[in-house]
Amino acid sequence: MADEIKLDISPMYEGERIRKDDLWVELGGPKADGFELSLATPMDQIEDGKVTVVGPDLGEMKEGTTMPFGMVFKVGGEKIEKDLESIIERRNHALLSYISGLMHLNQRYDIWMRIGKSLKKKGVTSWVQIFKPVIELYKAEMPFIEKMEITVYTDPAEVKKQLANAMEVYKTRDARAKGLHDEDVDVFYGCTLCQAFAPTSACVVTPDRPSLCGAITWFDGRAAAKVDPEGPQFPIPKGTAVDAVSGEYEAINEMAAKRSGGEYSRMLLYTFFDAPHTSCGCFETIGFYMPEVDGIGLADRDFKGATPNGLPFSTMAGQTGGGKQVVGFLGMGILYYFSPKFLQADGGWRRIVWMSKGLKERVKAGIDEDMMAKIATEDDAKDIAALKTFLLKVNHPVVEGVTRKVDNKKITEGWKLEDISDEIKEKVMAYIEKTGGDINIDTVKSELALTEGQFMQVVEALQADGVLE
């Protein structure tokens, strides 16, 4: 009987990677649709322990193929509430990874799974054989789950349909989270669920800074800590702010030091540059600093091209993940983009110079209205040179210096010339002679590709040389 196959299941397998040579089938990820969804359901509407497969079963999948994949968990129990859906959903990352020969990454609509050839050799032919034990794992690790039923979707049309339904559920959850802010609460929540893959990762979830994986809001963290006090989500009393603008709290620093094994002693919530939040590999988007323009770019997982710094999402993700603090790179969840505290210490939206087009469209409601047209996409700039031209044309704040909104403090000085070459001096002198000294800054930007400040730098150099009075 298929059900009699015994899988190797242990936390020791969590973090296992399945490489291409060992791959039986790939599910979701960069090449196909995928999702996971947990739904709090009345007990009388759940057939406990049942696993249904809609579409080709595992044994019918051709070796080496990539398939769309979805899984819906109906969960019931006296203590189960809507706020626990995301937590149960997110725990799937760990529990599926307990199975030797199975790799699970990411969350929500970004899931990426690989099934290894070792499971095929063991005789596994059905998703039922995998998810029956998963139900038992859930009940063992989350005793408040009294009933559970799982439906697995592999039919492409059905996956697409169910994914659309799931997106509406995610949207409803996120809408609720947007109405609460850090000032409204006296407790934040921590999460160490990703430490199997990122040992020094220590995630902080606040109303204004949801998890970077996008799966856990403050409400979710509160619900999880309440029903599972020994689990990976735990309360962090907010306490005293060392610096409210950057989001530095004594309690968060203490948590970071403890949960990272002493790797870090500080972790700030609203900044990119000084002791930034750790990033595991599950982040929905990545931010990257471009010193050539003194601005920040943003890309999501769906963007497959190279960003203006020449790097694709996948390369930057490899440099950023693993639970590291990397100044200049930062993993972030989509919901954070709608927060009034979005990178506020660094200038917020006034510091953002480039976004992948799909991401910009997706979060446009969160972007400051006066910045919408000043942030480039891949349609406007594919490299640093083109980005500089665009930013000059739209008079982006980074050009002359960013004044952050939160405290009206000017935090950057604008673009400066580190080396004023003879060639630049000659171009500026030729322009001055051509215009008879009637300077038009817009023309300076378009013809000389210089900011007003840079132009004046050259003028001062020419005066020092005695060429201009």
Phi, psi angle pair for 171, to nearest 5° = -60, -40
Specify if 332 maps to a domain: no
Does residue 164 share a domain with residue 186? no
Asked whether residue 140 is assigned to any structural domain, the reply reads: yes
Q: What phi, psi does 267 have (nearest 5°)? A: -155, 120
In this prediction, residue 4 carries a pLDDT of: 59
- Answer yes or no: is 56 within a domain: yes
Any domain includes 339: no
Hey, what long-range contacts does 462-465 have (CB within 8 A, 24 or more apart)?
Answer: 462/425, 462/428, 462/429, 465/425
Segments of 180-240 assigned E as strands: 187-191, 203-205, 233-237
107 and 10 together in one domain: yes
For residues 263 and 297, membership in a common domain is answered with no
Give the count of beta carbons closer than 10 Å to the beta carbon of residue 298: 23
Find tokens 């859906």 and name the residue. Answer: 85
Q: Which residues contact 20 (CB under 8 A, 6 or more apart)?
A: none
Domain region containing 230: 178-280
Q: What is the pLDDT of residue 85?
A: 92
Contact 9, 129 (CB under 8 A): no
CATH of the domain at 95: 3.30.1650.10
Q: For residues 226 and 308, is the Cβ–Cβ distance under 8 A?
A: no
pLDDT of residue 419: 86
Q: At what angle do helices 452-464 and 422-435 cross, to 10 degrees?
A: 100
* Residue 47 and residue 125 in one domain: yes
What is the per-residue pLDDT for 469? 75
- Neighbouring residues of 82: CB distance < 8 A, sequence distance ≥ 6: 40
Determine which helix (DSSP H) or strand (DSSP E) holds 129, and give its type and residue range: helix 127-141
CA–CA separation, 54 and 152 (whole Å): 6
Residues 54, 173 within the same domain: yes
The predicted structure's pLDDT at residue 2: 44
- Do 115 and 146 belong to one domain? yes
For residue 369, what is the domain's CATH number?
Answer: 3.40.1470.10
- Do 88 and 161 belong to one domain? yes
With a CB cutoff of 8 Å and minimum separation 6, the contacts of 312 are: 303, 304, 305, 306
Pairing of strands 23-28, 102-105: unpaired
Query: Which among 145, 177, 209 is the end of a domain?
Result: 177
| HSE-CB for 58 with a 13 A CA cutoff | 25
Number of structural domains in the chain: 4
Residues of the chain with pLDDT under 70: 1-5
Residue 24 lies in a domain: yes
Q: Which of 128, 147, 177 is the last residue of a domain?
A: 177
Q: Is residue 331 in some structural domain? A: no
Residue 3 pLDDT: 53
Same domain, 167 and 183: no
**CATH value at residue 228:** 3.40.970.20
User: What is the pLDDT at residue 321?
Assistant: 82
- The answer to whether residue 61 is domain-embedded is yes
Residue 209 is assigned to a structural domain of this protein: yes
